[in-house]
Amino acid sequence: MGSEVQILSGEMLIKVFTKGPVETHAYLIGCPVTRQAAVIDAPQGVTSEILKEVHEHHLTVKMILITHSHWDHIVDAASLKKELGAPLYVHVLDKENLEHPGSDKLSLHFPIEGIKPDGLLKEGDRLSVGNLQLEVMETPGHTPGGICLWLPKEKVLFSGDTIFRRARGRVDLPTGNREAMLHSLKKLANLPPETKVYPGHGPATTIGEEKWVI
């Protein structure tokens, strides 16, 4: 997964980058018609690889989207914003830890530069990336401000650390909430079963394959 750019139905580019000490995914998604793109999450060491891909495919990154603010998803957030010149967005309830990494009481293994978001995401927000339309789904449980990004036309979901292949996000961390996670999983269960799920770690899956966990 991630060795080359995938083209889904001729309408969407997806490239996955797996970086950092816990093999966290960042995604570069793009509209092949307009060449507009977005970055989802920012693990350690991903900036140079994303810049290379952007230049090779002549993409213009319109936004950086953070699914949640755990350290492994935000290490390169500041450098990506600086290099790409694109606005960065996160949910309001994860804003504090993006600005002040470690304020969520998770141990940091190295210093992380905080970054102020350019905007705050909430349930139902719609984001345009060329011809792609992303909808924000609030899915707390792993963190208070965890989100998923849903593309209804393409039936693609970027799930952050809410759901993985054969697993759900951890709720035993200081930011975790079991009841909130269960509610979020029930929300995801309402998506079409053929929805392709690209999680924050591990292989892709579908909503239908994960009915046992949601």
Q: Model's pTM, two decimal places?
A: 0.94
Tell me the domain boundaries of the chain.
6-104+112-210
Token readout for 2 is 């991630």
Class of domain 6-104+112-210: alpha beta
How confident is the model over 65-80, as a mean pLDDT?
A: 98
State pLDDT tens for residues 151-208.
Answer: 999 999 999 999 999 999 999 999 999 999 999 999 999 999 999 999 999 999 999 9
Helices within the chain (DSSP H only): 47-56, 71-74, 77-84, 95-99, 178-188
Token readout for 103 is 């304020």
Examine the pLDDT at 64 and tell me if it is beyond 90. yes
Q: Nearest to residue 78, comparing CAs of 30, 54, 121, 43?
A: 43
Q: State residue 3's pLDDT score.
A: 38
178 Rama class: left (phi>0) / alpha (psi -120 to 50) / beta? alpha
Contact criterion met (CB below 8 Å) for 62 and 86: yes
Q: Spell out the SS3 assignment of 57-104.
A: CCCEEEEEECCCCCHHHHCCHHHHHHHHCCCEEEEHHHHHHHHCCCCC
Strand partners, 179: none
Cα Rg of the chain (Å, integer): 16
Q: State residue 71's pLDDT score.
A: 96
State pLDDT tens for residues 88-116.
Answer: 999 999 999 999 999 999 989 899 999 99
